[in-house]
A and B are shown apart, each in its own frame.
Chain A
Amino acid sequence: DIQMTQSPSSLSASVGDRVTITCQASQDISNYLNWYQQKPGKAPKLLIYDASNLETGVPSRFSGSGSGTDFTFTISSLQPEDIATYYCQQYDNLIFTFGPGTKVDIK
């Protein structure tokens, strides 16, 4: 089975900072990589799909890139409402796997 790693596991940044999260797959997953945001007590929300496509209605400060095994998620200018845990998720061979998550808060 494919394993997903994310780094860092948590980060603290100031409002307006650029925030970058990386996700690595243990095998080539092409661009089958999605990013979700989960705020405390809420269901996850799809932000980025197929590595780099912005979900409808999601602010343009969120972006994603990568292919193969290495992927990056970026918040270009961190806002207070972005406080959440972010998960990458891959699809391979009919199975979905989530990364362990990155908790983002405000410094």
Chain B
Amino acid sequence: QVQLVESGGGVVQPGRSLRLSCAASGFTFSSYGMHWVRQAPGKGLEWVAVIWYDGSNKYYADSVKGRFTISRDNSKNTLYLQMNSLRAEDTAVYYCASPKFEYSSSSPLGHWGQGTLVTVSS
């Protein structure tokens, strides 16, 4: 069965960096684009970024563009989110999610990890 396990969250000071990882198993990772979605405490879901199955294209929400970088290592079945210049408003649970359909940029998000909490605070 599909498993997505995020790691790397924690408390970080404003302006610093953090890298999240998402270990995937139970499906052909290299055939699926992958997403990051976040949720601030007590708030709704916010889509963060997507990377295509082969890493050839990456797209970001305006709120993180220029500060966050999504990447993947298909040999390790792992998705990453490099977060730089962190702000208090980046405090959230970060979920990785895989699409329902392979090779589809418009596919709904069929599987989600349990999330990892990032707290940006001095």
Contact = CB atoms under 8 A, between A and B. Distances in A.
Nearest to A85: B44
B50 A94 contact: yes
Interface in A27-49: 32, 34, 36, 38, 43-46, 49
B62 A1 contact: yes
Contacts, number: 58
Given A43-B95, A43-B113, A46-B110, A101 B100 contact: no
A67 interface: no
B44 A96 contact: no
A43 B106 contact: no
B108 A34 contact: yes
Contacts of A98: 37, 44-47
Given A1-B62, A34-B108, A49-B108, A95 B47 contact: yes
- Chain A interface size band reads 20 to 34
A32 B106 contact: yes
A95 B63 CA distance: 13
Contacts of A96: 35, 37, 47, 50, 109
A66 interface: no
Interface of B: 35, 37, 44-47, 50, 57, 59, 61-62, 95, 100, 105-106, 108-110, 112-115
Given A43-B114, A46-B109, A95-B59, 8 more contacts: A36-B45, A43-B95, A44-B112, A55-B110, A89-B108, A96-B35, A96-B37, A96-B47
30 contacts: A32-B106, A38-B45, A43-B113, A44-B95, A44-B109, A45-B112, A46-B100, A46-B110, A49-B108, A50-B108, A55-B100, A55-B110, A85-B44, A87-B44, A87-B45, A89-B45, A89-B47, A89-B108, A89-B109, A91-B105, A91-B106, A94-B57, A94-B105, A96-B35, A96-B37, A96-B47, A98-B37, A98-B44, A98-B46, A99-B44
